[in-house]
Amino acid sequence: MKKILLVATGGTIASQETGEGLAPEISAQGLLDFVPEIGRSFHVDSVEPFRLDSTNLTPTHWRLIAQCVRDNYVNYDGFVITHGTDTLAYTAAALSYMVRGSPKPIVLTGAQKPIGVDSTDSKVNLRDAFLCAASDMPGVSIVFDHKVILGTRAKKTRSKSFSAFSSINYPDLGVIRDGSVVRFIRQECLSEPEFSTRLCEGVALLKLIPGTDREVLDFLFERNEAVVIESFGVGGLPEAGGFYECIREWRGRGKLAVVTTQVENEGSDIGVYHVGHRLKSGLGVLEAYDMTTEAVIAKLMWILGRTSDQNLVRQMFYTPVAMDMFPR
């Protein structure tokens, strides 16, 4: 019998009505009690580092989850992490870097409806996550609505439907059908995972709108080591309004700028238009290409937690980790 550790962290899956909205109230064991066949099919232990709505999570909580996996790694065949769906894609990306190359499955799941209500998706997602955690599916993934999605490629794309997550610019790793995992892609892994829980939290995100004031960008650069700018289309910055000067100034002070796109699919290509071309050639701005914003943020925190050497940062940013970007 496979040994699986359940790391329960809260979210809708564990929520109950409080009279003031849903809040996570159900313990790890309480979740397992709703799906008794899991305990008959696997040897399950559980830990609960915290129990929160995932809106309340910070990188400190990512560290706690990574530490749970690290401290128990040798004793289990796989890990299931139950988590709120709202920031699950961020946690999945962060764990992909913090527990790099895991040969054992680390499977995140959650639900759109609490486990105690009729017509919930919690039970099927939990069951599927355990199946996946006991299968030959290395690395970090999300199991949701019968799909297995790479941890670095997931995005919450529906706020209410059961099919809450999409894999962005990358195929699903597999599906779960009639109680079996059908694997399409096997993540590459190391013989031992590389754990690193050091993160630099000084990473900010600016979503550009027509008419954004450059002072917003100044504000973010002043307080952070890196600013990710979600721009438009294949990527660029308005040519009026002092954005280029702003980037030049802050780059000169050693700050990092990354341009990505608000468009969900197909990624950036900032050299295409005049509004983007100079950013890369003249100002040393990095671009996200096909990476998700969630993965860009987590990757920057992970890289800047290890080095501040600009050349190394650039090299690490463009080196694919857990298939977060296509090699270039």
Give the active site residues.
12
| 21/254 with CB nearer ligand ASP | 21
Least separation in angstroms between residue 84's CB and ligand ASP is 2
The identity of residue 211, as a single letter, is G
| 127/156 with CB nearer ligand ASP | 156
Residues paired with residue 45 on neighbouring β-strands, in sequence order: 5
Least separation in angstroms between residue 87's CB and ligand ASP is 6
Least separation in angstroms between residue 102's CB and ligand ASP is 24
State how far the Cα of 251 lies from the Cα of 249, in Å rounded to an integer. Answer: 6
Q: What is the crossing angle of helices 243-252 and 214-223, to 10°? A: 10
| 13/168 with CB nearer ligand ASP | 13
Tell me if residue 150 falls in helix, strand or coil: strand
State how far the Cα of 303 lies from the Cα of 306, in Å rounded to an integer. Answer: 5
Least separation in angstroms between residue 258's CB and ligand ASP is 26
Both tokens of residue 293? 């914003």
In the region spanning residues 55 to 74, those forming contacts with ligand ASP, defined by CB under 6 A, are 55
Return the residue matching tokens 């599916």: 137
State how far the Cα of 113 lies from the Cα of 303, in Å rounded to an integer. Answer: 35
Whether 22 contacts 52, CB under 8 Å: no
Q: Could you tell me which of 290, 221, 289 has the C-alpha nearest to residue 251? A: 221
Binding status of residue 112 toward ligand ASP by CB under 6 A: yes
Binding status of residue 110 toward ligand ASP by CB under 6 A: yes
Binding status of residue 114 toward ligand ASP by CB under 6 A: no
Tell me if residue 123 falls in helix, strand or coil: helix
The identity of residue 34, as a single letter, is F
Least separation in angstroms between residue 4's CB and ligand ASP is 21
In the region spanning residues 84 to 103, those forming contacts with ligand ASP, defined by CB under 6 A, are 84-86
Among 28, 44, 53, 129, interactor with ligand ASP by CB under 6 A: 53
Binding status of residue 54 toward ligand ASP by CB under 6 A: yes
Q: In this structure, is the dihedral angle defined by the CA atoms of residues 262, 263, 264 and 269, taken in order, positive or negative?
A: negative
Binding status of residue 172 toward ligand ASP by CB under 6 A: no
**Binding pattern to ligand ASP, positions 1-20, x when CB under 6 A?**
----------xx--------
| 48/269 with CB nearer ligand ASP | 48
State how far the Cα of 290 lies from the Cα of 267, in Å rounded to an integer. Answer: 4
Whether 94 contacts 302, CB under 8 Å: yes
| 84/267 with CB nearer ligand ASP | 84
- Binding segment toward ligand ASP, per CB under 6 A, in 25-33, 80-88, 95-103, 194-202: 80-88
| 112/167 with CB nearer ligand ASP | 112
Binding status of residue 191 toward ligand ASP by CB under 6 A: no
C-alpha gyration radius of the chain: 20
Q: How many residues of this chain interact with ligand ASP, rule: CB under 6 A?
A: 10
Tell me which DSSP letter residue 279 carries.
Answer: H
Residues paired with residue 106 on neighbouring β-strands, in sequence order: 79, 140
Closest CB to ligand ASP: residue number: 84
Whether 142 contacts 149, CB under 8 Å: yes
Site residues for ligand ASP per CB under 6 A? 11-12, 53-55, 84-86, 110, 112
